[in-house]
Structure 1
Amino acid sequence: MNRWLLWMFLLCLPGPLWALDTEEIKSIPETAKVAHQYDDPLEAVARVPAFVTDSRIDQLIYYPCENCHTKGMVAPNDKVRTLELMHMEINLDHGKGRFWCTTCHDINQRNQLISLKKQRISFDQPYLLCGQCHFARQRDFFQGAHGKRKDNWFGPKKLTNCTECHDPHVPQIRARLPRKEPDPRLGLSIDNSDKHHRHQPWDQAKEEHKDEVHQ
């Protein structure tokens, strides 16, 4: 009787639960809509633990971009095409064909990145740009669950920036073999004898307890 009532209840639902299209409910950048965009990109870090990152601008080969991308030298061009004069080494494999250079690079201010709401973002803050689509990863990055902390675990919080690990044009990290384990230090040998055993504080407490019992 109870089983029959359960089946009747399931049939009365708007649609069978198993008929949901899992591709439509995934919360990943490839299928989800763009997350809510702040009026100021820095609002994304207003309520997270304070942190710093190393400058990325100092590591960019072509920066400042405006050295070439000026109105008199290289005119803006939104057309998707094969680059033949400069940046030929860049292979854009990001967003499954949805992106072009000017999706992330400000066409009017070449020394800046730009958000989907046309907000300018520094090259030193790529986490603000990436977080527009990769919002779950951005949250984990701010809280220390994604990425890597630098320098120390006790002092000021310094995080590894997104583009230090991920190529922004081909962000997926390819599978690779793990690093080889370190070689053993020369001059050390394995000795399991008790004289080399480092007794722990709780071992000493056990010995003292034994002495008290025997007394």
Structure 2
Amino acid sequence: MKGDSKARKYTVCWLSHHPSVNSCHVTFSAQLQCLCDEVDRALAYLQVVSETQLFQERKLDAKFAFALHREAKIAEITETKALLTKEHQTRMQAKQKKQVVELEEKQRLFQNAFEHDLQLYKTTGLIANTIASMESPADALTTATGQLNVDDMSQLANVLATSEVHAADTPFAQMLLNRFSLPTRTPRQPSAVVDLEHFGPLTPEEDEINLQQFLSDVKLEDSGIAGSD
């Protein structure tokens, strides 16, 4: 103990007698403190860099995983789209075939109905509405705008022409003729026989003049009949 105290006293005494050594000690202590601070700052920066690098690695891993997931989803969507497109095409083809079959069946039924109505009209003169009773309201416009066969149109034209010839033989036509018949007139005796073939065919103006003359003669005869009554 006495030896240690003597050594310290000797050191203090020696340092007090050597001021340059004391100043060097203070300088070295300050430099050491600066170095320690720099090491602390470097360690903190290293920790920040390490955390940043770890974050970047995790970010890259997440991007890579997202890219793989995106490619997988795109492939799945493409496959699903191709499957749905094929299924849609199959359904549309089946629907078109079904519509063609239904249209052919409808045309066959309408053709049979038209032939039946045409035969009925030829036989009895009655117009049946079989086609209108067969079709739905939604198909009425389509049927009305449909095209008939050329043979059917020619047959219909022949029937209508025949019906116009025999229209006067029906009871309704006879009733109209009896109701609106004109009074009986005595035919006029021509004063002279004129050969019309000698003059050739009449022009429209001459025909109109003759018609006006005929109408005036008829009016005169009607007035004479009324006066005699």
TM over 0.5: no
Scaled by the length of structure 2, the TM-score of the pair is 0.19
Higher relative contact order (CA 8 A, sep 6+): 1
Higher helix share: 2
| Higher gyration radius (CA) | 2
